[in-house]
Amino acid sequence: MKKSRKKKLSQRELFSEGDIPPVESSNSYGSKGEIWTSAFIAYMEAMVSHPVYEGMPDAIKEDGKIQWEAPSNRSGGQYQHTHHKRREWWRRKAESMDIDVTKDKWISRAAKMIHPTGEKPCKRCGRIMRIAYVYPNEWLVQKFRKKYGEDFEISILEPITDVVQRAYDLMGGRIIDEISDILSTKDIRVPGFGDDLESFLEWIEETYIPMEPGLLSPGAMSNAPDRLDGFHSFNRCCRGSADKGRNSENLLSYVTDRRVFEYWSAGDWIAADRLMGLIRTTLKNEPCADGGNGPATADHIGPISLGFCHRPEFRLLSKAANSAKNNRMSLQDVQHLRRCEEAGTQVVSWYAGYLWDRRKNEIDSEEMALRFSKQLRDNQRNAMRTLCEIYDSGKFSFLLYLLELGYADQNVEFINLSAKDFVTCYEKIVVEKRHTKYATEQKARRVRIGFEALRAYKEKENRHFLAIAKETVDGYVQQAISCLDRQDKNFFELDLLLHNTLLPEEGNVAEEKLRMIVNQFPTHTVEVFEEAKALLSKAMAVIGKAIYDASGSDRYVRDQFEF
């Protein structure tokens, strides 16, 4: 029988980031020059008036401001003894809940038990994190990477349940036993769950996390009575314990599929990601095509940075060879991709179709393959510039449509997976529908990274590529924008909502709103969007022809260019 737990109010039921603008502390809180996020100020106002903190000494100062911080080292003044008075308040609160105040950590136990939401925003960046022990610490990160490779996506800023869900999506039910071993400690033995993911996640949430295992850390450390709510103002994201090279948003998107989102690549990205995960596990001991040392890594036979699809087929290369290849194609790659096309497989994204079709049958040497790689790279950068024009027009719903979010709603299994001639092969892919929390997060991540890539592209100057004059394609681009003016009124409303969500005037991206949007966004074919996409494809055909016509120029002679 499950243990009943008191349901806490959602943090977002009490406040939403952006309701109150950021305030300079010289005029409100903290030391001069310090900025407190609007989310944190809203949080303070919600907490100071919440019934669980009723009677908190000196909560509101005479000037009407919240006294959030009460350090113990005040040497004088009206609020010199606030810290000690609050400690007594916490003692009485703990005793009322039958917490033994003679035992260690009594005050942190009380702070956790009474907290109304179980999560709080960071004072510095506004990121909302849970106060429970739900985030991997560095030791657990290393255990996961030792098992699944250095490029396994795991962040010290995401709940362990999200890590488990992603690993399951990538590698299947058999990994539950492996992760159970990873999560086990000297004092905690994880029971067997077979391939029952839901029961495993429920056990982690209901049993493992409350035991506060040494492999997990809280999103906010206890700090009563120094802070009114009993927790540090800086969350795990900003309290300085994270590796400076692997923190914040960089960590949340630290995975090979990030490039897929950045380059707006087409293809079944869920199946491709899953296969990459299986290469890191099931096929890691297979020999590498280059003869190098394993473990084998997944090489995109058609580089996604050149406009090829992210699809479930990879060549096995050593890590060194894969890194050295970078975004270059070989003659073998081109020949293999042509054979895939002949078998009915789409190998290039929509924006690279013209140039690929025009040039692919002319490639007959390694030198030609390298020149073609450079041309495709120029084509991809022109495509990004074209997408930026759609971005500037505010047609965000159409851009979401191009991201093919629907793939996240499926779970895939590869039947009889193996490697033949150093290339992955399988009998078939079994696809099942799924509707999980992590599927929604995958969609949101794809949108966040894709739109951020467009913003970054717009802001970066002096890009080294063959930029085709805008006026040569502007007619098709403007036709596409005009076509989108005929979209359903619901999409116009969604355009505005997406703009306000992804580009807020203040604060960070409203994550909860973004998850709601992507989870409800239609995955079926939208006729007006297909019309606009066809017009952009015509624009890219003009660009592709201009790049093709420059095939003999110095730009595409090998010793004249760098990748």
Instruction: Name the residue ranges covered by the structural domains of the chain.
Output: 11-130, 133-218, 257-560
**pLDDT in the model for residue 463:** 63
Say if strands 297-299 and 315-317 run parallel, antiparallel, or are unpaired.
Answer: antiparallel
Q: Which of 25, 35, 252 is nearest to 129 (CA)?
A: 252
Please answer whether residues 14 and 5 qualify as being in contact, where contact means their C-beta atoms are separated by less than 8 angstroms. no
Region of 84 (left: φ > 0; alpha: ψ -120 to 50; beta: rest) is alpha
Task: Classify each residue of 402-429 as buried b or exposed e, where b means 16 or more C-beta atoms within 10 Å of its C-beta.
Answer: bbbbebbbbbbbbeebebeebebebeeb
**pLDDT in the model for residue 466:** 81
**pLDDT in the model for residue 411:** 86
What is the C-alpha to C-alpha distance for residues 452 and 403, in angstroms, rounded to an integer? 13
Joined tokens for residue 338:
């042509």
Extended beta strands in 147-264, E state: 216-218
What is the C-alpha to C-alpha distance for residues 100 and 232, in angstroms, rounded to an integer? 23
**Residue 257, H or E segment:** helix 257-262
Q: What is the DSSP letter of 191?
A: P
Q: What is the DSSP letter of 207?
A: I
Region of 522 (left: φ > 0; alpha: ψ -120 to 50; beta: rest) is beta
What is the C-alpha to C-alpha distance for residues 226 and 348, in angstroms, rounded to an integer? 58
State pTM to two decimals: 0.67
Task: Classify each residue of 103-126 as buried b or exposed e, where b means 16 or more C-beta atoms within 10 Å of its C-beta.
Answer: eeebbbbbbbebbbbebbbbbbbb
Beta bridge partners of 298: 316
CB atoms near residue 538 (< 10 Å): 16
**pLDDT in the model for residue 375:** 95
* DSSP calls for 445-507: HHHHHHHHHHHHHHH--S--S-PPPGGGTHHHHHHHHHHHTTS-HHHHHHHHHHHHHHS-SSS
Joined tokens for residue 518:
């992507």
What is the C-alpha to C-alpha distance for residues 266 and 225, in angstroms, rounded to an integer? 53
What is the C-alpha to C-alpha distance for residues 113 and 450, in angstroms, rounded to an integer? 40
For 64-78, 223-237, 493-507, 521-535, which range has the lowest pLDDT when averaged over its residues?
Answer: 493-507
Instruction: Dump pLDDT digits (tens) for 320-330.
Output: 998 888 889 99
Please answer whether residues 166 and 257 qualify as being in contact, where contact means their C-beta atoms are separated by less than 8 angstroms. no
Residue 239 has pLDDT above 70, yes or no: yes
Instruction: Dump pLDDT digits (tens) for 43-66.
Output: 999 999 999 999 999 999 988 899
Joined tokens for residue 320:
């060194």
Instruction: Dump pLDDT digits (tens) for 250-298.
Output: 333 333 356 778 899 999 999 998 898 888 878 989 999 999 998 899 9
Which one-letter amino acid corresponds to residue 278? L
How many CA atoms does the CB half-sphere of 399 hold within 13 Å? 32
Beta bridge partners of 432: 411
Please answer whether residues 375 and 545 qualify as being in contact, where contact means their C-beta atoms are separated by less than 8 angstroms. no
Residue 438 has pLDDT above 80, yes or no: no
Residue 162 has pLDDT above 70, yes or no: yes
Please answer whether residues 391 and 451 qualify as being in contact, where contact means their C-beta atoms are separated by less than 8 angstroms. yes
Structure-model confidence comparison of residues 119 and 255, the more confident one: 119
Mean pLDDT throughout 416-433? 94
Cis peptide before 295 (omega within 30 of 0): yes
What is the C-alpha to C-alpha distance for residues 478 and 233, in angstroms, rounded to an integer? 49
